[in-house]
Structure 1
Amino acid sequence: MVERVAVPRRGIWGWMLFDWAQQPFHTLIITFVFAPYFAASVAPDAARGQELWGLATGAGGLAIALSSPVLGAIADATGPRKPWILAFSLIGVLACAGLWFAAPGMATLGPVLILIALAVFGMEYAAVFNNAMMPNLVPRAELGRLSGSAWGLGYLGGLVSLVLVLGFMSASPETGRTLLGLEPIFGLDAAAREGDRAAGPLTALWYAVFVLPMLFFTPDQPRRKAVAGAVREGLGRLAQTIRRLPTERSYFSFLLSSMFYRDALNALYAFGGIYAAGVLGWSITLIGLFGILANVTGALGAWAGGRMDQAFGPKAVVTLAILILSACCLLVISTTRTEVFFIPLGGAGSSVPDIAFFVAGGFIGAAGGAIQAASRTLLVDQVARERVTEAFGLYALSGKATTFIGPFAVAAATAYFSSAAFSLAPEDAQRLGVTPILVLFAVGLALLPFVSSRQYQVAPG
């Protein structure tokens, strides 16, 4: 049994700053800047861009799914998590920096797709081991608040980074001006979309700087075994866990449920900006404003979700969030330039679709922040502390098992509806291509009743 010792405040803040460090990857690369830029300007067309983006992010998720439980079990046997975080951070940082070379209309997309996959692989893997440090930082009664506060801080980091990109770097190719009406800093060329491409290097630099407090100040687990001996022990423990898992109904059900609802959320994030660019014709600037709203509500949602977690338990937070996200997803899918909730508006010049999309984005941000924070504490409830890295490895496996299935499903559905058999416009094929997200939310919700959460007493004060 791993004993928890009192952690100094700077160690707690160092751990929380990991979310601040990593969030620009999700905000700038995966959702609001680079992904829609890739689909609209690098790929041949938006539908093909959505398909290729799904394949690249799915490949990165598949690599995590195949290896994370094994490495998690080995990490539990050896003890320290920081060496793993550092190794995968280097992969993610270098891959993000390389996205600068994704020029508009480039002939060969293979290297960019490889970089996208590596960025997902490195950044997401580092989070697996960072999450595993959480249970040893505070008592169980305070985990919900800690997780929610960290997610909220992360969303604020995403917000600040997005404002930097939109206000000072990313400029309209037509006007040459940023959202604040300024010329791009550092002489970035608006016509070459250098401001959008700079999201990659900025993400890399941001992460490299702000991950340092966690590496320097947050206490790690002591080394228990040499790596050579730990490999055999870790693999043995993992094999026992997998054999025993079907008999642990709550743990097994949680992994299955989270596998579906987290992938639905990730797909909603990953394809939201691409969808807005292709179906609603939004510019990067407008998508960025949408992202600012989602990050503000995400920070508030994560903070409020952490307090709700402490008051009512994480399962209640997850359930409510899934219901909200499902309704928002339906609103997004049913919105085009001429329709909202599949109801014709009578013309293409209405602002109602834009308003509806902004409303959906606000609620997606809030519910997404809450569900991600609560999911971390709900997982901790399923296992003993000495198995927590292995559990987060299985958590990554369960999530990544559909993190590649989800994007692949969206890619396949988009390609299917883009085929000559349907004769659909690209925006209609793109719209129908994201419908698998709703199915994933529904399956995740159906499995939640079988998940239990520990009863605990809230710490005084």
Structure 2
Amino acid sequence: MATLPNRKRIWGWMFFDWAQQPYATLGLTFIFAPYFAAVATDALVAQGTDLDTAKVGAQTLWSSAQTIGGLVIAFTAPFLGAWADASGRKRPWILLFSLIAILCAGLLWNLTPDGASLMLMLAAFWVGYVCSEIAFNLNNAFLPDLGTAEEVGRISGTATAFGYWGGVLSLFVMLLFFAENETGTTLIKLAPAFGLDPENREGTRFVGPFIAIWFAVFLIPFILWSRDNPAVKRNRPGFNQVLSELWVSICRVGKKPSTRAFLLSSLFYRDALTALYAYGGIYARQVLDWQTIQIGVFGIIAAIAAAVISWIGGIADQRLGPKPVIATCIWVLIAVGSVIVGMSRVHVFGIPLPEGSPIPDILFYICGAAIGGAGGALYSASRSLMVRHTDPEHPGEAFGLFAFVGKATAFLAPALITVFGILTQSNQLAFLPVIFLLLLGLFLLRWVQPDGETSA
């Protein structure tokens, strides 16, 4: 890590986190998702659906699309990882999927308040998000080349923190200059920049082009400084060859008890974490009746907590190892899930609140900080623990499987949220499956060796 070229490679690798982060921060969680939920709810009400049912219907629509997106990521990531390993080239694939993601983000401008293009924009978002996640997973496969097993925890934590600071900055810019509240002004009481029309929600709709511009500009350091490993022989593998090697890899993992336990554990807790990210903003909108600006402030708190705690988590990872960091983060998220299930605008765990009580708002701000902080440190430590279970000759394949198990049941949390939402007609009780998934992941973690198979 001491040489300048390697520092540049690390910075190039970290800048991908910075470039891609607004897709999650602005798109999946704090700006586009709540706006989509509001537009979808209004569209359903206009069709004659009562308001409460429309809110659940909007959440169900989003969760169904997320289920499909998760399945696509799950079943393409291992193959693409194996292909990248076999060909010796990851950068071209990363750039291709990044380009598709950028183009799809730009299209999100077309989600107008009347919901005329609702389904098309839902598809555009999730196609773009899927492509950005595939590119991100391939970028993860560079991590084992950037440092020793002891160093990658700190590198991963620093990169995650750096990415979240990008999310903080992008969210600040959107809230200060673009996203309008119900009065048509931004957080600092300005009209949306560039003469954007607040009546048509053009400030909020600018989130799509903003993500696209951000992604394209900050992808440049990655393009300049990241390189495929020159020691890996480049070739053009056949489709059958890649499938054969992927199957061998899956069988090999099946014979490694610690790796198997880790992948199964992360399958469940990462699925639950993704659900918390995806529905945090929607929950704030549908249950607490927050507006765009308030959700954005919530997002800033969560992103700052994520940046700071991810960095601290990286230091803890280097000193204690990633497994204790993961276990601690899961317990924090279980506590958050319990608060979400037990809280509404009118009560907290069954205790009635006076009208207009600020307690639900305060609690959810705290939950936002916990989700951001624990979630950032959890992913960073998981990425570090995966390195300890990775065959150095097949990093793309390993992280492809890592992505696969992170998405293989990606349909599970959204589907369970959908089912519980329909059965209970409650946005809060719909989150019960998230707690169950976290507990299952924590239980399976007990069989994971902290230093990989070598410590088994």
Instruction: Answer yes or no: same fold by TM over 0.5.
Output: yes
Q: Does 1:47 align with 2:56?
A: yes
Cα distance in 2 between the residues matched to 1:139 and 1:56: 39
Whether 1:57 aligns to 2:54 is: no
Map of 2:421 onto structure 1: 414
User: Which of 114, 117, 124 is 1:105 aligned to?
Assistant: 114
Q: Which residue of 2 aligns with 1:115?
A: 124
- Corresponding residue for residue 86 of structure 1: 95
- 2-structure distance, mates of 1:49, 1:20: 30
Aligned identity (percent) is 44
**8 A contact 2:39–2:115 mirrored in 1:** no
Which residue does the alignment assign to 1:214? Answer: 222
> In structure 2, what is the Cα distance between the partners aligned to 1:253 and 1:196?
43
**Contact map agreement 2:268 2:441 (CA 8 A) in 1:** yes
Residue 362 of structure 1, CA deviation = 1.1
- Residue type at the aligned position of 1:350: S
Q: How far apart are 1:108 and its partner, in Å?
A: 4.8
What amino acid sits opposite 1:215 in the alignment? I
Aligned residues of 1:6 and 1:137 also touching (Cα < 8 A):
no
- Report if the CA contact (8 A) 2:262-2:444 is conserved: yes
User: Aligned AA for 1:438?
Assistant: I
SS at match of 1:402: coil
Deviation string 1:173-229 (CA, Å, 9 cap, x unpaired) is 3x2210011111011111211111111111111011111111211221236242244
Helix, strand or coil at the partner of 1:13: helix
1:304 lines up with 2:312 in the alignment: yes
SS in 2 for 1:54: helix
Deviation at 1:243, TM superposition (A): 2.2
Name the stretch that deviates more: 359-368 or 446-455: 446-455
Shift of 1:434: 2.0
2:393 matched residue in structure 1:
386
> Which segment drifts farther, 268-277 or 381-390?
381-390
Q: Deviations over 1:46-85 (max 9, x none)?
A: 2222111111122111111112111111111111210110
* Superposed displacement of residue 87, structure 1: 1.1
* 2:368 counterpart of 1:371: no
Q: Greater CA deviation, 29-38 or 110-119?
A: 110-119
Is the 8 Å Cα contact of residues 330 and 341 (structure 1) preserved in structure 2?
Answer: no
Instruction: Kindly state the Cα deviation for residue 288 of structure 1 after the two structures are TM-superposed.
Output: 0.6
- Out of 425, 430, 433, the residue aligned to residue 427 of structure 2 is 430
Conservation of the 8 A alpha-carbon contact between 1:14 and 1:218: yes
Deviates more, 1:188-197 or 1:199-208: 188-197
User: Residue 163 of structure 2 corresponds to which residue in structure 1?
Assistant: 154
SS at 1:386's partner residue? Answer: coil
Please tell me the residue identity of whatever aligns with 2:86.
Answer: A
Using structure 1 for the length normalisation, give the TM-score.
0.92
- SS in structure 2 at match of 1:435: helix
Match of 2:358 in 1: 351
Residue from 289, 292, 304 that aligns with 2:297: 289
Show the counterpart of 2:207: 199
Query: Does structure 2 conserve the Cα–Cα contact (< 8 Å) formed by 1:92 and 1:118?
Result: yes
2:176 aligned with 1:167: yes
Helix, strand or coil at the partner of 1:84: helix
Give ranges in structure 2 of 5+ residues lacking alignment.
45-53
SS at match of 1:227: coil
1:341-366 Cα shifts (integer Å, max 9, x gaps): 33222x22100111111111111111
Task: Give SS of 1:416's match.
Answer: helix
SS at match of 1:206: helix
**Which residue in 2 is equivalent to 1:141?**
150
CA–CA distance in structure 1, aligned partners of residues 5 and 293 of structure 2: 42
1:176-255 to 2 correspondence within 5 Å? 176-222=184-230, 224-229=233-238, 231-255=239-263
1:391-416 Cα deviation digits (max 9, x unpaired): 11111111111222222221232233
- Normalised to the residue count of structure 2, the TM-score between the two structures is 0.93
- In 2, Cα distance between equivalents of 1:171 and 1:306: 36
Identify the range of structure 1 (49-58 vs 312-321) with the bigger mean alpha-carbon deviation: 49-58
Contact 2:88 2:235 in 1 (8 A): no
Q: CA deviation at 1:7?
A: 4.1
| Deviation string, structure 1 residues 244-281 (Cα, Å, up to 9, x no partner) | 33221111111111111011111001001100111111
Name the stretch that deviates more: 431-440 or 403-412.
403-412
Structure 1 Cα separation of the partners of residues 5 and 418 of structure 2: 45
CA contact (8 A) 1:42 1:103 kept: no
| Offset, 1:378 | 0.4
Which residue does the alignment assign to 1:257? Answer: 265
**Structure 2 SS opposite 1:430:** coil
